């Protein structure tokens, strides 16, 4: 099954003109069961150029001005994501390498989640976020912990589970500085989103960042296992192709000797 899914993704890449690399952006073990039902733009994004040995991809999503770019900058130790107190500052998704407790993974910063009419700038931002969600191995859904759960948060919590049911989604309650007991009521309200216990942190002050490791490490280990399977499948296919070519050469030589 793994080899068949690899071949299917390779053939799709060849048809789309992306013949140089053909490994799917989503982990291959999940690729075959989802790509057949997706729209062409998502399929092409899933087949984008990526290294043979892929890093774990972590997407940061949430409505505007909840601190996604601040957390992105904190994880990547950079200022590549623009941060202002103006909703909607981030328009497109951004990628950067993150390092946390010795683990390396890719982080995707996204625009704000907002319902919007087709053709609008906000709709374009939502589509960019949708692409990020589809290629993510792990998703952190951020809310403003001080403000609490909003109807938009509830709507997009459901949306996330539909868009990529294979990727774990964990809730992050940002902007909660200091002792977590101060925010007990706000954290209890988060359970209504159906995403389990919220992770309280303050991206601006760097508090609670290492708590994300409790969720990153299991995803990292699972991802590494899948990458090992991909490598083994590639090597097996190369061996099988080599044997088949050798057999064809022998058949040709035998035919010429007749």
- HEC states along 152-170? HHHHHHHHHHHHCCCCCEE
Residues of the chain within CATH 3.40.50.300 domain(s) are 51-222
CB hemisphere CA count around 207 (13 angstroms): 13
Nearest alpha carbon to residue 133 among 254, 38, 208, 13:
38
Q: Domain 51-222: give its CATH code.
A: 3.40.50.300
> Tokens in use for 97?
């390498």
Q: Measuring CA to CA, which residue among 180, 174, 179, 113 is closest to residue 146?
A: 174
* Model confidence band, residue 253 (pLDDT cutoffs 50, 70, 90): low
What's residue 245's pLDDT? Answer: 67
The rounded mean pLDDT for the chain is 76
- What is the DSSP pairing of strand 169-174 with strand 103-109? unpaired
Residue pair 131/103 in contact (Cβ under 8 Å)? The answer is no
Q: What average pLDDT does the segment 156-181 reach?
A: 91
Q: How confident is the model at residue 126 (pLDDT cuts 50, 70, 90)?
A: confident
What's the length of the chain? 258
CB 83 within 8 A of CB 94: no
pLDDT of residue 167: 93
pLDDT (tens digit, 9 = 90+) per residue, 28-56?
A: 445 444 445 555 555 445 444 344 458 99
Q: How far, in Å, CA of 69 to CA of 79, rounded?
A: 9
pTM: 0.69
Question: Any idea what DSSP says for residue 55?
Answer: P
User: Helices marked H in 84-150 — which ranges?
Assistant: 121-135
């Amino acid at each position: 099954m793994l080899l068949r899914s690899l071949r299917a993704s390779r053939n799709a890449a060849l048809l789309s003109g992306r013949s140089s690399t053909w490994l799917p952006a989503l982990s291959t073990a999940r690729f075959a069961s989802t790509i057949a039902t997706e729209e062409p733009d998502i399929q092409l994004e899933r087949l984008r150029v990526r290294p043979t040995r892929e890093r774990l991809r972590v997407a940061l999503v949430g409505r505007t001005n909840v601190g996604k770019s601040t957390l992105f900058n904190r994880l990547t130790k950079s200022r590549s994501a623009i941060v202002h107190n103006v909703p909607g500052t981030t328009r497109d998704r951004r990628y950067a390498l993150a390092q946390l407790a010795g683990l390396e993974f890719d982080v995707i910063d996204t625009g704000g989640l907002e319902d919007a009419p087709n053709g609008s700038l906000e709709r374009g931002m939502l589509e960019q976020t949708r692409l990020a969600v589809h290629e993510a191995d792990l998703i952190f859904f951020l809310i403003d912990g001080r403000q609490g759960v909003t109807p938009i948060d509830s709507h997009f919590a459901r949306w996330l589970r539909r868009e990529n049911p294979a990727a774990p989604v964990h809730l992050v309650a940002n902007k909660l500085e200091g002792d977590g007991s101060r925010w007990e009521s706000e954290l209890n309200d988060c359970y209504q989103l159906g995403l389990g216990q919220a992770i309280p942190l303050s991206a601006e002050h760097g508090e609670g960042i290492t708590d994300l490791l409790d969720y990153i490490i299991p995803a990292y280990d699972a991802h590494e296992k899948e990458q090992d399977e991909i490598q083994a499948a590639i090597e097996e296919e190369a061996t099988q192709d080599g044997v088949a070519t050798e057999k064809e050469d022998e058949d040709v030589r035998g035919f010429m000797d007749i």
